[in-house]
Structure 1
Amino acid sequence: MNAKSKVLIVDDEPEVGEILGVLLEEQFDCEICTDATQALEALRKTDFPLIITDLEMPQINGIRFIKQVRELNRKTAILISTGHDCEHPKVQEALQAGANGILTKPFMDPDDLIRSVTKLIPH
């Protein structure tokens, strides 16, 4: 059996990280961080093919976090998790900073979530 791909989930609301982790845990090995500083430390220790990050976080927001991730690793795919639509200026800024896509909160369809994650993880 193949090892599960690793997914780093970053959200300052622990319950959101937990929901994502539960929805993805069957197919992916998820690590959950509640702030960007903790997530950057995890990235220095482990290679994650995919990161799901909140856009609105205290201290280091999602856009700044994406820029820092891109300095560390160009290959990691990044999905932003947000309540904004894809036309929102912050979402556009995150995409320009290097995010690969968007997951819109609330997460209604677990199958859509898994498809979004799976298509960004190299096989």
Structure 2
Amino acid sequence: MAESILLFESIQPTKLESVRVLRQSLSKILDHLDIKTNVKQHCLLCCSEWCTNLILHATPPSRDITVSFRKSKKKWLLLIKDHGEAWDPTMHRSIINSKTKTDILKGCGYGINIINNTSDEMFYQSQPAYNLFTILWERDTHRIKPHILLVEDNKSQVQLYCAYLKPQFNVSIAANGKQALTFLKNEKVDLIISDIQMPEMSGIELRQELEKIKTSSTPFIFLSHSLDETILHDAVDLGIDDYLKKPIKKKAVTQFNTSRTYTL
């Protein structure tokens, strides 16, 4: 786990409504990752199946369920933690009543078959304080694109830049500097492209905060309608890699590569 990066974590009470909340929240994170569509679907399905199993069948029940999603160099990891009855799904085969087509073993049957058939690996750990079910999928490292964080509050501009960037890059979106900082706590990117004038936290303030937490080595490009000399001076003082004046042409914003060289 030390070699993996946390991308998502949520704790919910053991209620059926929590399954929907967890699935929707996880889905939003997966939408921003360079993950195969079928792996995303399998991940959401496994999350729903196991959380539902814990809510309906664990005796004694868990007080809550924690779902987290991580990535390592070669794996996607879905982790589901509970504090209820220990029951290892990897130790049981599906036993189905041939007449009623219902599960004979609690928590087994179709749900466990689904998890087994849609994942690459699964592991179960039972500790005195909690149980942890880990489901893994292989990452297709050959299709991983450079990762760009686009920080922009104008929705039409976001749509335009995404149309430019997504064929070549994995693009994540933040509406302002605060959202960008929250995102960067759990995720690494190859480039940050940020508007300067934004509500809550400007691009200048975002760059200043990144310097405080020692992530200023990430390549950084400012976007702005203005070429005000004061703004340009502030940007240069922050050690940015470039400054582009809106409206941005496609060629200018797509010529970033993994060697971190620019032709802008």
Q: Which structure has greater helix proportion? A: 1
| Structure 2 unaligned regions, length at least 5 | 1-141
Is 1:5 the counterpart of 2:112? The answer is no
Q: Distance in 2 between matches of 1:120 and 1:39?
A: 23
TM-score by length of 2: 0.42
Structure with bigger gyration radius: 2
Counterpart residue number, 2:188: 47
> Displacement of 1:118 after TM fit?
3.0
Counterpart secondary structure, 1:107 = coil
1:43-122 to 2 correspondences below 5 Å: 43-72=184-213, 73-85=215-227, 88-108=229-249, 110-115=250-255, 117-118=256-257, 121=260
Q: Secondary structure at the match of 1:67?
A: helix
Q: Deviation at 1:33?
A: 0.8
CA-CA distance at 1:20 after TM superposition: 1.2
Partners of 1:65 and 1:88 in 2: CA distance: 19
Aligned residues: 119
- Quick one: higher RCO (CA 8 Å, sep 6+), 1 or 2? 1
Q: What amino acid does structure 2 have at the position aligned with 1:59? A: E
Contact 2:207–2:216 under 8 Å retained in 1: no
Note the alpha carbon deviations across 1:1-24, whole angstroms, 9 max, x for none: 341010000011122122111100
Aligned-residue sequence identity (percent) comes to 22
CA distance in 2, matches of 1:90, 1:120: 28
Q: Structure 1 length normalisation: TM-score?
A: 0.86
Q: Distance in 2 between matches of 1:9 and 1:91?
A: 20
Task: Name stretches of at least 5 consecutive residues in structure 1 with no aligned partner.
Answer: none
Q: Judge conservation of contact 1:56–1:62 (CA < 8 Å) in 2.
A: yes
Spell out structure 1 runs of 4+ moving beyond 6 A: none
8 Å CA contact 1:53–1:81 kept in 2: the answer is yes
List per-residue Cα deviations over 1:47-100 (Å, max 9, x = no partner): 011100001112211111111122231321100011123x62112202212321
2:154 alignment partner AA: E
Does structure 2 conserve the Cα–Cα contact (< 8 Å) formed by 1:12 and 1:34?
yes
Q: SS in structure 1 opposite 2:185?
A: helix
CA distance in 1: counterparts of 2:242 and 2:197, whole angstroms: 16
Match of 1:34 among 175, 187, 194: 175
Is the contact made by 1:62 and 1:94 (CA closer than 8 Å) also made in structure 2? no
